[in-house]
């Protein structure tokens, strides 16, 4: 089985509380991106490639990673952790052991970007193993398993626009559609470590509902739909607000940092015409939604 793994953007993001287990409560809208990347509709590829094949004569599952370098030991890799978590869930739910698989990931979605690439790899590994083993675990079971892997992981089980609460596992699908619009993602050469991103968050302050305006046209979101990571991350990395302003100057209806960064995106009515020279030391990805 070969799966083209998409990413996501956060549209608006609030962190409302810190939990005793170290996770943070949040409020955000997850929107999938890259679902049709590499097709004539959206020609520029923007996905990871996951291949999962059963190994009937092997004793253990085998993992191979190519493409962008993944800088962590195998036991901390989210695809590896997803396979182990599914193995435990399968045994718990059905009493059956998981057969060995050959799991290969070709990595292209940039990491440290707030685009959920690693989380998507993990969740789509769960979904692939669920199908290939014939386990028929429900979406609720998979979401529960995914929540143990990371805050963005549950979203990719549903993989459709959702308002998310809790650590991201309490999801309400919404009818928001940006189909036909264009997304320009600007990924600086650096990422934002999770520790740095959350260090500047004040979980005790009052939070207005900044996601309410999402029923409006994206052109009405600026100044109303906010990512509260931006102020302190922009202060530490002054090139980021310059990127955001450049997106607006080029005609973006709305521009924002995704998740805890460092990638920023602009939503456009038509295909944006921006040279890479406008964003020194950054990678650009153009996606039709």
| 222-238: pLDDT as tens digits | 998 999 999 999 999 99
All residues at 6 or more sequence positions from 234 whose CB lies less than 8 Å from its CB, including other chains = 240, 241, 257
Question: 189 to each of 57, 167, 237, 260, 276, how far by Cα in Å?
Answer: 43, 28, 12, 15, 13
Indicate if 182-288 has the same CATH topology as 2-173: no
Backbone CA torsion sign across 184, 123, 75, 4: negative
Cα Rg for the chain, rounded, in angstroms? 19
pLDDT at 86: 98
Q: What phi, psi does 260 have (nearest 5°)?
A: -95, 15
Write out the two tokens for 254: 């709305």
H/E stretch holding 14: strand 7-18
Of 47, 23, 53, residue with least CA distance to 33: 47
Q: Is 100 helix (H, G, I), strand (E, B) or coil?
A: coil
pLDDT at 207: 57
**For each of the chain's 289 residues, which pLDDT tens digit applies?**
999 999 999 999 988 877 787 677 888 999 999 999 889 999 888 999 999 999 988 999 999 999 998 888 999 999 999 999 999 999 999 999 999 999 999 999 998 899 999 999 999 999 999 999 999 999 999 999 999 999 899 999 999 999 999 888 899 999 999 999 999 999 999 998 878 888 877 765 555 566 767 777 899 999 989 999 999 999 999 999 999 999 999 999 999 999 998 999 999 999 999 988 999 899 999 999 9
CB 25 within 8 A of CB 14: no
Q: Which CATH architecture has domain 2-173?
A: 2-Layer Sandwich (3.30)
Give the active site residue among 8, 107, 244, 286.
Answer: 8
Q: Does the domain spanning 182-288 belong to CATH 3.30.450.90?
A: no
CB 9 within 8 A of CB 258: yes
- What predicted TM-score, i.e. pTM, was given to this entire model? 0.93
Domain boundaries in the chain? 2-173, 182-288
Round the average pLDDT of the chain to a whole number and report it: 92
CA–CA separation, 129 vs 133, rounded Å? Answer: 6
Of 203, 82, 50, 103, residue with least CA distance to 150: 82
pLDDT at 208: 59
Give the active site residue among 107, 152, 244, 286.
Answer: 152
8 is catalytic: yes
């Amino acid at each position: 089985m070969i799966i083209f793994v998409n990413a996501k953007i956060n549209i608006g993001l609030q962190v409302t509380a810190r939990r005793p287990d170290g996770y943070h409560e949040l409020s955000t809208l997850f929107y999938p991106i890259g679902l049709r990347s590499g097709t004539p509709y959206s020609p520029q590829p923007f996905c990871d490639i996951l291949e999962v094949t059963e190994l009937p004569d092997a004793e253990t599952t085998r993992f191979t990673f190519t493409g962008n370098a993944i800088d962590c030991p195998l036991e901390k890799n989210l695809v590896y952790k997803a396979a182990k978590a599914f193995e435990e869930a399968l045994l718990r739910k059905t009493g059956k052991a998981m057969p060995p698989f050959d799991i290969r990931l070709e990595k292209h979605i940039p990491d440290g970007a707030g685009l959920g690439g690693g989380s998507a790899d993990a969740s789509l590994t769960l979904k692939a193993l669920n199908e290939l083993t014939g386990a028929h675990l429900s979406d609720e079971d998979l979401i529960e398993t995914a929540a143990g892997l990371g805050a963005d992981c549950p979203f990719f089980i549903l993989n459709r626009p959702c308002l998310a609460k809790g650590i991201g596992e309490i999801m309400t699908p919404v009818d928001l559609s940006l189909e036909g619009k264009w997304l320009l993602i600007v990924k600086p050469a650096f990422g934002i470590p999770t520790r740095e991103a959350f260090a500047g968050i004040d979980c005790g302050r009052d939070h207005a509902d900044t996601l309410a305006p999402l029923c409006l046209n994206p052109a009405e979101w600026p100044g109303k739909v906010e990512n509260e990571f931006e102020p302190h991350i922009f202060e530490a990395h002054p090139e980021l607000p310059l990127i955001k302003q450049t997106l607006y100057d080029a005609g973006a209806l709305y521009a924002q940092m995704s998740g805890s960064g460092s990638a920023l995106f602009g939503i456009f009515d038509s295909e944006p015409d921006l040279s890479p020279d406008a964003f020194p030391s950054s990678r650009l990805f153009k996606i039709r939604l």
